[in-house]
Amino acid sequence: MTSLIDNQRPGRAGAIDDRPVDPMVPRPYRISRTRQDTRDTFTLELEPIDGPLLRYRAGQFTMLDAFGVGEVPISISGDPTRPGPLEHTIRDVGVVTHALIAAPTGAVLGVRGPFGTSWDVAAGEGKDVVFVAGGIGLAPLRPALMELLAHRDRYNRVVLLYGARTPEDILFGDELRTWAKDHGVIVEVTVDNGQHAWRGRVGLVTQLVPRAGFDPRNTLALVCGPETMMRYVAAALTDRGVPEHRVRLSMERNMKCGVGLCGHCQLRELFVCVDGPVLPYSRLAPLLSTREL
Amino acid sequence: MADEARLIDLDGLQGLIDALGARGYTVVGPTVCDGAIVSAPVHDVDDLPHGWGDEQDAAHYRLRRRDDDAVFGFAAGAQSAKPVVFPAHELIWRGRRTGTEFTVNERDADGPTAGPPPPYALLGVKSCDLHALAIHDTVLLGRGYTDTRYAERRAGSFVVAVTCTDPGGTCFCASMGTGPHPDTGFDLALTELLDGGPHRFLVEVGTPRGAEVLAGVVAPPAAASDVAAADAVVAQATGRMGRTLDTDGLKDVLYASAESPRWDDVASRCLACTNCTLVCPTCFCTSVEDVADLTGDVAERRRVWDSCFNEDFSYIHGGSIRTETRSRYRQWITHKLAAWVDQFGTSGCVGCGRCITWCPAAIDITAEAAALRWTPQPAAAGS
């Protein structure tokens, strides 16, 4: 099949169609590989069927579509500096995510995007950069870390604080070791519940912030995880003296369109899909302190 | 009033409807249906609500017989122009699966919800609803991404606005600066005159397209006395608003009220039924529905109106953000009267009063905004 998107509108055969491309219509991508990362988390590699590889910035997301099942926003987890398949790391938590991770290699999924703001990790050049991840929140941060590692010498200390539920839930374990060993990243991992074999830290990732080795006055902090975790981490970072505008969070909200039209993702005046998902804590702090806003 | 205003009578109004029909427009205008003023295709001037007015108050709507033969003698109808240019159900795409692949055809067929065909001539759009159309243009066309179907319908639409001569008990367009006289955004604007003289309409021309259509209608220049009569109608209507809303510093009032005890009060009355968002001419939130046939091989995605009053509106893995009615009412009114200003540069409220009229619990946005303004705030809540 050469083109899976048929843009020929009925009744307009032969006419030059100058109508804008509809941002609500997905483009077809083929699953080239599905890798199981943990017991409930999988990384999908997707290749476009009818066009060039997707260009995206670290922190952006796409709307992933399982045919006939539905569509969900998923952050891109691949390396934006190297051309290759589009990567998404997905936790099997709902009907659509289950359909996505259960689709066989070679199956076609729909992709819209990329959408949203980026981490803009380059703003941390000449500074310490602190990544704080909770659970699957490590996946949206991975593209920013890959971007940083492509120019590691431009940054000072690089710290990754990562909290997972259990040792079995730790994502990208091999890469964590590589980042620490080969790229001078200070990697600190903690788990909520450790079994006997776990010799690492047990506790909340928030508790790692006060002790981590970085200069708060000259730091860019990128945070992704459950909202409650991000709120406490952002408070811990600013308590240490990191300016609010240099603490960035990636927000999660219900999204039906990804392009600012459906209204679902609103957080007071923000459309999280187009104003975010990455937003400075200076804008979020007054909004996150109100319950159910 | 414009200097080159023209005048038509009921025959002229029929001529206007005919002229629009002859140009391929489906003319949609006010009709009497199910005990309310409802927009529907109009072919004949007799299809319009001759001699009908309405009675509107919180949770109250009744048609009433007028003591004159006005055709536009009612306040806001049950719906604005929103359902015409932004239908409640709309096909986004339909696709077919073959093995592990699927093809997507953009709107390859009209769905069962398709109404009368575009392009539309919207006849009798009140000033509040005219402003709502302009607001929808900003929301759906004026930003980074465009609603392509709305863009097409809107670009093809012809608008005949009308001065609201008899505002209802829930109207407050004068407070919002959105009426009652249409000032911009129309092709033609009518002001109905029933001042003892002949039944006639002052016509203002808003666009060259409007002038072109009017050229085919018997419409002599209006006399100075007709223009003065229309001005008097506008002045009289402006003074007869059933409600007022104090917009002074309203955005800051709403933002400062995030923890107001008033939310519990309103939540004790609000049924979260979504009526207000369905009748609101500016509410634009939508969801998508995926429907597959029994084989699963043919699927389609539809865009459907949604409401921030639905619990699953804010659902993410683990639960909804806004589980309580108080949070959802806060979202709605804060968005409408405050966040909207930051997002789009205007209030999201045009003062049409529909949310008050059609609320089964008689909740009044003007009363709630006033109560929030005067309800003492709790001591600053920490996080």
pLDDT tens across A144-191, in order?
Answer: 999 999 999 999 999 999 999 999 999 999 999 999 999 999 999 999
Q: What is the pLDDT at residue B112?
A: 47
Q: In what order do the strands lie in the sheet with A41-48?
A: A70-75, A61-66, A108-115, A27-36, A41-48, A86-91
Q: Mark yes or no for CB contact A260/B104 under 8 Å.
A: no
- Beta A247-250 vs A219-224: how paired, if at all? parallel
Nearest to A75 by CA among A286, A285, A276, A280: A276
Closest chain A residue by Cα to residue B340: A269
Min Cα distance B365 → chain A (Å) is 18
Cα–Cα distance, B363 to B62 (Å, whole number): 18
φ, ψ of residue B320 to 5 degrees: the values are -85, 150
Of A1, A10, A71, the CB nearest to B288: A71
Q: Do B214 and B203 meet the contact criterion of CB atoms below 8 Å apart?
A: yes
Of A67, A103, A264, the CB nearest to B285: A264
Of A19, A71, A261, the CB nearest to B147: A261
Q: What is the mean pLDDT of chain A?
A: 92
Nearest to A9 by CA among B105, B370, B376: B105
* CA A91 remoteness from chain centre: 12
Closest chain B residue by Cα to residue A23: B145
Cα–Cα distance, B326 to B346 (Å, whole number): 25
DSSP string, B176-207: HT--SS--SS-SEEEEEE-SSS--EEEEEE-S
Cα–Cα distance, A65 to A63 (Å, whole number): 6
Q: What is the pLDDT of residues B45-55, one digit of tens each?
A: 999 999 999 99
Min Cα distance A107 → chain B (Å) is 5
Which 3 state secondary structure label does DSSP give B121? strand
Min Cα distance A155 → chain B (Å) is 33
Min Cα distance B29 → chain A (Å) is 28
Helices B127-141 & B148-155, crossing angle to 10 degrees? 140
Residue A14 has pLDDT above 50, yes or no: no
Q: What DSSP designation does B336 have? A: I
Could you give all domains of chain A from N- to C-terminal order, each with its CATH number?
A: 27-115 (2.40.30.10), 121-250 (3.40.50.80)
Q: Mark yes or no for CB contact B95/A106 under 8 Å.
A: no
Which of the pair, B3 or A2, is modelled with greater confidence? B3
Q: Where are the alpha helices (DSSP H) in chain B?
A: 10-22, 82-85, 127-141, 148-155, 173-176, 208-214, 224-238, 250-256, 262-267, 275-279, 325-334, 340-344, 354-357, 365-374
Q: What is the pLDDT at residue A51?
A: 84
Of B292, B322, B323, the CB nearest to A68: B292
Global pTM value? 0.94
Which 3 state secondary structure label does DSSP give A89? strand
Closest chain B residue by Cα to residue A3: B103
Q: Mark yes or no for CB contact B322/A263 under 8 Å.
A: no
Chain A contact probe: residue of B316, B332, B335, B346 with most A CBs at under 10 A: B316
Q: Do B60 and B360 meet the contact criterion of CB atoms below 8 Å apart?
A: no
Residue in the structure block whose two tokens are 């051309």:
A83
> pLDDT under 70 in chain B at which residues?
1-3, 106-115, 379-383
Q: What is the pLDDT at residue A197?
A: 87
Q: What is the pLDDT at residue A21?
A: 72
Q: What is the pLDDT of residues B326-382, one digit of tens each?
A: 999 999 999 999 999 999 999 999 999 999 999 999 999 999 999 999 998 876 544
Min Cα distance B93 → chain A (Å) is 7
Chain B contact probe: residue of A264, A272, A274 with most B CBs at under 10 A: A264
Domain positions in chain B are 6-238, 250-374
H or E stretch at B27: strand B26-33
Q: What is the pLDDT at residue B105?
A: 74
Residue A6 pLDDT grade (very low, low, confident, very high; cuts 50, 70, 90): very low
Of B92, B93, B335, the CB nearest to A266: B335
Residues in chain A: 293
Closest chain A residue by Cα to residue B316: A254
DSSP string, A236-289: HHHHHT--GGGEEEE-----SSSSS-S-TTEETTEEHHHH-SEEEHHHHHHHHT
Which 3 state secondary structure label does DSSP give B57? strand
Q: Mark yes or no for CB contact A261/B288 under 8 Å.
A: no
Closest chain B residue by Cα to residue A251: B316
Q: What is the pLDDT at residue B379?
A: 65
Q: Mark yes or no for CB contact B322/A292 under 8 Å.
A: yes
Q: What is the pLDDT at residue B102?
A: 80
The answer, yes or no, to whether the previous bond of B180 is cis (omega within 30 of 0) is yes
What CA–CA distances, in Å, run from B176 to A95, B127, B133? 44, 11, 15
Residue percentage of chain B with pLDDT more than 90 = 88
Q: Mark yes or no for CB contact B339/A269 under 8 Å.
A: yes
Residue A13 has pLDDT above 50, yes or no: no
Which two structure tokens, joined as six digits, stand for B35?
């005990």
φ, ψ of residue A48 to 5 degrees: the values are -65, 140
Q: Which residues of A touch B156 (CB under 8 A)?
A: none
Q: Which residues of B touch A264 (CB under 8 A)?
A: 285, 287, 306, 313-314
Which two structure tokens, joined as six digits, stand for B304?
């459907």
Q: What is the mean pLDDT of residues A9-19?
A: 36
Which two structure tokens, joined as six digits, stand for A90?
């997905």
Residue type, B181: H
Residue percentage of chain A with pLDDT more than 70 = 93
H or E stretch at B323: none
Q: What is the ipTM of this complex?
A: 0.94
Min Cα distance A59 → chain B (Å) is 19
Q: What is the pLDDT at residue B322?
A: 98
Q: Which residues of B touch A274 (CB under 8 A)?
A: 143-145
Q: Which residues of B touch A292 (CB under 8 A)?
A: 321-324, 327
Collect contacts of B244-249 with beta carbons under 8 A, ≥24 apart.
B244/B172, B244/B174, B244/B175, B244/B366, B245/B172, B245/B175, B245/B176, B245/B349, B245/B351, B245/B365, B245/B366, B245/B369, B245/B370, B246/B175, B246/B369, B246/B370, B246/B373, B247/B175, B247/B176, B247/B337, B247/B347
Q: Mark yes or no for CB contact A256/B286 under 8 Å.
A: yes
Residue type, B50: H
